[in-house]
Amino acid sequence: MSVQQEAGVEGGTLEVWIDQDLCTGDGICAQYAPEVFELDIDGLAYVKGSDDELLQAPGAATRVPLPILSDVVDSAKECPGECIHVRRVADGVEVYGPDVE
Ligand code: SF4
């Protein structure tokens, strides 16, 4: 089953947020999915809003566009800080990331 199909099974729209307290600043996420991740001048990664601005409030989340879902999921899997969290918008349940049970 593809990542996109899994997401459908999981219940639709997903969002992603980064715990900057654990970010190592290596930039892997920004290489995999520059549409939603970017390093700021403080050396930490942040998610980007719909008009490309960095969302710097702690715990700020942005929607995951379906065409790049697999890139975002790969980022979460490869993130050395284990600090990329992908969750369902509908109920806030994490579906990819360190808090998946
Ligand atoms: S992959 Fe993880 S640790 Fe690396 S810059 Fe992105 S959020 Fe930070």
pLDDT on residue 36: 97
Is the beta carbon of 18 within 6 A of some atom in ligand 1? yes
Burial class (CB in 10 A: 0-12, 13-18, 19+), 89: middle
Residue with CA nearest ligand 1 atom 1: 79
Does the beta carbon of 38 lie inside 6 Å of ligand 1? Answer: no
Residue ranges per structural domain of the chain: 3-96
Bridge partner residues of 38 (DSSP): 46
- Whether 83 shows a pLDDT value over 90: the answer reads yes
pLDDT at 69 over 50: yes
Mutate which of 16, 20, 23 to test ligand 1's pocket (most atoms within 8 Å of Cβ)?
23
Q: In whole angstroms, what is the distance from residue 78 CA to residue 9 CA? A: 23
Q: Identify the architecture of domain 3-96 in CATH.
A: 2-Layer Sandwich (3.30)
At 50, the pLDDT band (50, 70, 90 cuts) reads: confident
Q: State residue 48 phi and psi, 5-degree precision.
A: -110, 145
CA quadruple 34, 60, 62, 68: dihedral sign: positive
